Amino acid sequence: SHPSLCPPGIKCGGVLSAPSGNFSSPNFPGLYPYETECTWLIVVAEGSSILLSFSHFELEYHAACAYDYLQVYNGAARDQGNLLGTFCGRSPPPPFSSAWHVMAVVFRSDRHVAKHGFAAAYRKGRVEREGWWWWSICPSVLPHHPHHLCLPADACGGQLTGLSGEITSPRYPESYPNDAECRWSIGGASGPLTLVFADFQVEGGQGCGFDYVALFDGPTAAAPRLGRYCGSTRPPRTVSSAPHLLVLFKSDFNIGGRGFKAHFYSAGECQEVFTAVRGNLSSPRYPNFYPNNLKCQWSIQLPPGYRVKVFFLDMELEGRSSLTGGCDYDHLAAFDGGAENGSLLGRWCGRESPAPVTSRSNQLLLVLHTDRNTAKRGFSIAYVGVVPMNVSCTRTDFHIQIPVLSLAQLERNRIYLGTPSCAAQVVGGNFKIHTRFDTCGTESQKRNNTSVIVSTLYIDFSMGDQEDIHQYEVQCEPKRKEASVSLIAGPDPSRLSQAENLVDAQQREGEAMDAREIKGQDTSDIVFISICILAGLLMVIAVVGLVLL
């Protein structure tokens, strides 16, 4: 199923299933043939990784590698989410380690300009961590084959090009070897990188002169140093100023330690915290295919009292499992609160168009998991902070109540119904609006053959010249005395097809007004009932009078 399009008699591509081996472009070290396409599929024992390196590399050069090129895939070929890189010219690809037991290498040449091609070697490795290892070229091992690659047992370091990943010291969590030097060059993201140490135990000493971990704000040790650490205290969370970070680990000739384990992620694409009342976010590289082997988190954290409402504008992830029918592969999940141990609000995959989701607290966490193959376009999301409120009505009045805590930064005149003259009053710990239907811009409408009273509640968050007014439609059905509230202007209205009802059963439960207070305010109903009772009494008196006569 993997193409091997070569001129007759030329060996090209194939399946490589031995624990280690070598392969090269057709005719190497001679010139490779024109119009050739070869795919090598490397498959080792399940549970292992594949270590791959290039000892010679010379292809026709083009700035975008549009003519002759070599591609390396972390898994099966032709899946753009697995593509680790496309290479041409005289600069060889960096050493790679696959994230699982399959790797593909694709070579293609056009009809013009041939070069000497490439020579590569691979070996089965251990899947202990996510990341790419360097290893050494050891021509002394096999003098008759100067391009043989020797892979030391304590290999470490390498080029890391994903948006997130993990690195560990050699042999972690066992004691690291003496005289080690490892360099992890992290890059490939579009924004700053964040590095967090989960565990750290390295030989200590004044000035960290023995064993140490050093961090540099760039791809090499010539970049500004961000820190040098040793001992058993975990280094602080580190954020680079550019999309490159170098981690250097060195050990001397004696005394070791457990070493370290650290996670990195691209802060701008794969891990972000939102605190604005509304915003937008999308999967990495959207609308292009997202990368494989990701775990991205977006945490929305709003002031106390708010709820977070998420609108799904576009979604295309890998589809459901044909065996279980579940989202077992790539999926997006939403959790109530700031952690994955919160209540699951939803889990989606494929081409779903989920209904909006509302948190029960002022925080919501979105987590994207992608596996090692089949990438898609991803998703685009808008969110808005929903102001907690209770809206009720009688046959003649609206009652609106909003906790002051949720709008603590606003004056009461920033909250009004219909017109600014109908601004809220502060009563206890709440903003309150109590108004009759014939005031504050209310109007009567027919909806689904039912008479309803409608008005607009404005909450003005504007600052300076930046206008930011949220609008909620409040509605009452007087006959049933049923009220509702819907967002009509929150996130970009042009991207939301319709207003969404914001008062569900959970919101009502958390924000219900004191029943005695509602009863005390419902004076119009009391008057109506009193008139009915009085009329009944008068009828009884009249009937008794007629009987006596």
* Strands 500-501 and 482-489, bridge-based pairing: antiparallel
Judge whether 476 and 483 are in contact, CB under 8 Å. yes
Q: Return the amino acid letter for 36.
A: T
Bond into 235 cis (ω within 30): no
Higher per-residue pLDDT: 431 or 506:
431
Q: How much is the pLDDT for 533?
A: 67
CATH of domain 271-385: 2.60.120.290
Question: Is the fold of 157-266 the same as that of 390-489?
Answer: no
Sheet holding 278-282, edge to edge: 278-282, 378-386, 307-316, 357-358
Q: How much is the pLDDT for 485?
A: 87
pLDDT tens by residue, 320-375: 988 889 999 999 999 999 888 899 999 999 998 899 999 988 999 999 988 877 88
Q: Please list, in sequence order, all residues whose beta carbon lies within 8 angstroms of the beta carbon of residue 203, skipping any fewer than 6 positions away.
A: 210, 211, 230, 251, 252, 255, 256, 257
Domain spanning 390-489: CATH 3.30.2290: no
Q: How much is the pLDDT for 64?
A: 80
* Cα gap 376→351, rounded to integer Å: 10
* Cα gap 421→417, rounded to integer Å: 8
Judge whether 193 and 243 are in contact, CB under 8 Å. yes
pLDDT tens by residue, 32-87: 999 999 999 999 887 778 889 899 999 998 888 889 999 988 777 666 667 777 88
Higher per-residue pLDDT: 530 or 6:
530
**Which alpha helices (DSSP H) does 416-464 contain, by range?**
none
Query: Per-residue pLDDT for 501 more than 50?
Result: no
Instruction: Work out the pLDDT band at 5, boundaries 50, 70, 90.
Output: very low
Residue with tokens 């009494």, as numbered in its chain: 537
The pTM of the full predicted model, rounded to 2 decimals, is 0.51
CA-to-CA separations, 62 to 56, 66, 88, 108, 425, in angstroms, rounded: 18, 6, 7, 13, 69
Mean pLDDT for 145-169 is 59
Query: Per-residue pLDDT for 157 more than 80?
Result: no
Write down the domain spans for the chain. 13-125, 157-266, 271-385, 390-489
Closest among 332, 406, 420, 333 to 376, alpha carbons compared? 332
Instruction: Work out the pLDDT band at 151, boundaries 50, 70, 90.
Output: very low
Bond into 219 cis (ω within 30): no
Determine which of 111-115, 134-138, 486-490 has the lowest per-residue pLDDT on average.
134-138
Q: How much is the pLDDT for 198?
A: 79
Query: Per-residue pLDDT for 211 more than 70?
Result: yes
Q: How much is the pLDDT for 153?
A: 41
Under CATH, what is the fold of the domain 157-266? Jelly Rolls (2.60.120)
Q: How much is the pLDDT for 19?
A: 87
Instruction: Work out the pLDDT band at 499, boundaries 50, 70, 90.
Output: very low
Mean pLDDT for 404-416 is 85
**Domain range 13-125, its CATH number among 3.40.1050.10, 3.40.47.10, 2.60.120.290, 3.40.50.300:** 2.60.120.290
Mean pLDDT for 494-509 is 36
pLDDT tens by residue, 227-263: 999 999 989 888 898 888 999 999 998 888 999 988 7
Percent of the chain, pLDDT > 90?
Answer: 35
Query: Per-residue pLDDT for 511 more than 80?
Result: no
Query: Per-residue pLDDT for 497 more than 60?
Result: no
Written in H, E and C, the secondary structure of 385-401 is: EECCCEEEECCCEEEEE
Percent of the chain, pLDDT > 70?
Answer: 79
Instruction: Work out the pLDDT band at 519, boundaries 50, 70, 90.
Output: very low
Instruction: Work out the pLDDT band at 25, boundaries 50, 70, 90.
Output: very high
